[in-house]
Structures are given as C-alpha cells and as structure tokens.
Amino acid sequence: MRPDMLPADHTAEAERLLRTATQYPEDNEPLLLQAAAHLELAGDRSRATGLYDSLLAGSPDHPHLVKALKAANLWEYGHEAEARAIIEGLRAAAPLEPAPWEIVAETLEAHDELEAAHATFTTALKLLLAPDEDVPYPTQSLLIGRHRVRRLLGLDHDTLDARADHVNPAPVPLDELHDPKRLWALGSDNPAELQAEITRLRAELGSYRTALSRPFPVAVLHWPTAELTELLTAYPALTTEYPSHAAHLSDLESSLRDLAATGTPNLGIVTATVPSYEAFAASEQSSPAHPPLLPQYATTLAARGRATPWPPPKNAPCWCTAETTYGKCHGAP
C-alpha cells in the first residue's frame, strides 16, 4: 500500500482487520500483524503488544518475525530491557529468514546502537547470503541497511557494500543516499545545494514507494504429497497438470528459476490445500477441475499474505519440506 493510500484512522482499520481475522481464521497471523501495525501507528502500543502475545501463545508460522516486531514495539514505549532480552534471544536463535534480522537491526539503529546494528546486519548476511549466489529479493534490504549504518559509522567500503550498490534500485548511488552530511545540506542557504538534496530525496522516496506499492508476490502453488493425492483422486482431470508429485516439485522450482532469470522480483510459494481450493472454486462459481483456476487460487493466497519468499537461503530448510537444506535439495545447481 502506498503512503498516500494509508487509512487516516488507524484504530478503525485495526478493528476492521480484527473482524476479518475472525472470519478467516486460516489467515489469522498476517491479519493480526497488520492490525498490530495500525495500532502502533495509532499510538496504542500496549494493545499492539497484546496482539503479538496472542500470536506467540499459539503456534505462529513466523515466530521470529512476531518476536522481532514485539521487541521493536516494546522499545518504542519504554520497555527497553524487555526488548533487549527478546533481541538477544533472536540473535542467538539465528533465524533463516531476513525479516526478523532487518527489524532487529533497524530497531537498534533507530536507538543509536549503531555498532550493534552493524553487527546484526553483518551476522544476518553471513548466515543468509552465500558469496557466489545472486542476492534473493528479501535479502537485498539487509545489504542496503548495512551500507547505511556503515556510512553513519564512517567505515570504508567492503565487498558487501559493493553488492549493496549492485542491488540498489534507486537512480541515486547509495553513497549519496546514505551520506551523513546530507543532514547539514538541508540547512543550507545555497539554492543549488537545496535543489540537489531535493532531487536525492525524491529518488529515495521513489524507491520506498516502489517497495510499498509493489504488487503481491508472483507466487506458484505447492501441493504437499497428501494434498496432491487427495486433489487428483477427487479431480483426475488435473493429472495433466500434475503427472506426479516429483514432477510437480521439479516444475515448481524450474518455473521460479525461469521467472528469476527474466528479472521478475518478489517471487513466492504458496502452500495449497484441497478444502481451501474447493472453497475458492465455489466462490468463483467454477469447478475445481478447471485448470485455469489454479493460478488464480495462487494469486489469491499470495494476496492474503500466505506467500513464502523464494528462494530461501541455501542453508535454510527446503521449501518442499524435505529434511534437508535448500542448497542440497531443490536449490542444488
């Protein structure tokens, strides 16, 4: 959602999301996280913490993300000690997804803990990014955030900074965007300096708008073994789409690699279930045996926050749920 499209009444939007969560319990986690974000924007941080606690009391799909958001929220309204304890626990847990690391590092940066923020960004990238692999879309913001903190610390460029320059989507170089002296330029009486700063700020805002308003992930369906067996038993016409489970997994990875090769960003995988698919088909007044319904179902799941970013880090569990890492499974060359 673009900044100029954000709702004016964040409390009302949080209430709407909470009502929606009761209607769609399968989407409880993403809806409650959105509601908590709106409560934070409304200044109701205590209630936002209650939503995070409610999620953690269950079995959230992304517990490290929820804990990171909770820590950031707690620190903002005076519970620094508790926030630090959660952050230390997260760093020790070493999650294999970028979002918790980014939230923790930016929380530390926001509170002038620049050395700790730099260490957090660096640890995350060493864990999630292999030297010889392309930078996955969800990991790019870690590189750019680390570059920003290093500029604030006055550190020289290193190889990760060079990779940050490579993935930078803005037309203005990162060294300019992250230049600490820009703060002084805003107080200049020189019209040329002010105009140059306005140009840089517009470029930076443009990149943020692009990130905030980008479409939902281009997502593909993943049918677990039992679900695919049930689907083909009920709708044998779909055998042409899924000749076998092994072929389905192979085709899924190949499709995503082809999309990545064409420059498509923000790719994801959504896990399908037969009851959910049948309910979607009924809502579309169509038959589940109709193949063109499958990509529409995938898009709908992604729009409801069910997409898992692809590719996962090489040493993270494979998306197919095999008991091995992605790099040794579907991520192997």
| Higher pLDDT among residues 308 and 158, named by residue | 158
Distances (CA, A) of 206 to 124, 138, 150, 170, 306: 26, 19, 23, 7, 27
- DSSP state, residue 309: E
Query: Domain 3-180 belongs to what topology?
Result: 1.25.40
pLDDT at 260: 87
pLDDT at 131: 81
pTM of the predicted structure, to 2 decimals: 0.70
Distances (CA, A) of 62 to 29, 46, 311: 9, 21, 17
Q: In which band, very low, low, confident or very high, does the pLDDT at 197 lie, cut at 50, 70 and 90? A: low
How many CB atoms are located within 10 Å of the residue 59 CB? 8
Secondary structure class of 156 (helix, strand, coil): coil
In the chain, what are the domain boundaries? 3-180, 181-214, 218-328
Percentage of the chain with pLDDT > 90? Answer: 52
Q: Which two tokens stand for residue 77?
A: 């309204």
Q: In which band, very low, low, confident or very high, does the pLDDT at 137 lie, cut at 50, 70 and 90? A: confident
How many CB atoms are located within 10 Å of the residue 187 CB? 8
Q: Is 149 a residue whose pLDDT tops 90? A: yes
Q: Amino acid identity of 259?
A: L
pLDDT at 54: 95
pLDDT in tens, 163-184: 999 988 777 788 887 877 765 5
| Higher pLDDT among residues 66 and 199, named by residue | 66
Q: Which residues contact 10 (CB under 8 A, 6 or more apart)?
A: 38, 39, 41, 42
Q: CA torsion sign, 25 to 30 to 31 to 35? A: positive
> Chain centroid to CA 286: how far?
32
Q: Which two tokens stand for residue 190?
A: 């020189």
Cα separation, 268 vs 100, whole angstroms: 18
H-helix or E-strand spanning residue 304: none
* Short-list 123, 133, 205, CA closest to 170: 205
Q: Pick the range with the lowest mean pLDDT from 71-85, 132-146, 198-212, 315-329.
A: 198-212
pLDDT at 200: 64
Q: Pick the range with the lowest mean pLDDT from 58-67, 187-196, 235-244.
A: 187-196
* pLDDT (mean) for 142-163: 93
* For helices 63-76 and 80-93, angle between their N-to-C axes, nearest 10 degrees: 150
Q: In which band, very low, low, confident or very high, does the pLDDT at 213 lie, cut at 50, 70 and 90? A: very low
- Residues 210-240: b if buried by 16+ CB within 10 A, e if exposed: eeeeeeebbbbbbbeeebbeebbeebeebee
Q: Which two tokens stand for residue 228?
A: 């695919």
* pLDDT (mean) for 191-201: 68
pLDDT at 224: 94
pLDDT in tens, 27-43: 888 889 989 999 998 89
Q: Amino acid identity of 119?
A: A
pLDDT at 3: 37
How many CB atoms are located within 10 Å of the residue 266 CB? 17
Mean pLDDT across the chain? 86
C-beta separation of 98 from 141 below 8 A = yes
First to last CA, the chain: 36
Q: CA torsion sign, 304 to 27 to 71 to 129? A: negative
pLDDT in tens, 218-274: 889 999 999 999 999 999 999 999 999 999 999 999 999 999 888 888 889 999 999
Q: Is 304 a residue whose pLDDT tops 60? A: yes
> 């494979």: which residue's tokens?
318
> Chain centroid to CA 260: how far?
17
Q: In which band, very low, low, confident or very high, does the pLDDT at 5 lie, cut at 50, 70 and 90? A: very low
Q: Pick the range with the lowest mean pLDDT from 6-20, 50-64, 218-232.
A: 6-20
